[in-house]
Amino acid sequence: FLSHQQKDKDVCRKIADYLTSADIDVYFDEDDEDLKFYRQTNRPEGVVDSIRIGIKNSSHMLAVVSPSTMYSSWVPWEVGYGFDHTSLGVLTLKGITDSS
């Protein structure tokens, strides 16, 4: 499960593609057709359900942290929800200082 802030979508697509090319199955929100439908039809309960299913079906979560992550409400929620369901890893992008 690739947890990320929407502003980092382009770089996260590259990460997802890289992992997929290494034969690692990746849950990336752009590839979830149900999630797309729920977003387009403004059904927040469906969005949450899709994300929960994605996390529950994942053995690992990679949280991508960038300067824009601090503005995300989803990344902390996903990490909190996934904490008991996955092994968690963190990848920090350029622009994150040690004090951040």
Contact between 7 and 68 (Cβ < 8 Å):
yes
Residue with tokens 């079906």: 57
* Alpha carbons 57 and 51: distance in angstroms, whole number: 10
Q: What is the mean pLDDT of each run of 10 residues along the chain (100 residues)?
A: 95 96 96 96 96 96 92 94 93 76
* pTM (predicted TM-score): 0.88
Given the DSSP bridges, would you call strands 87-92 and 2-3 parallel, antiparallel or unpaired?
Answer: unpaired
Structure tokens belonging to residue 95: 């622009």
Residue 23 is predicted with a pLDDT of 97
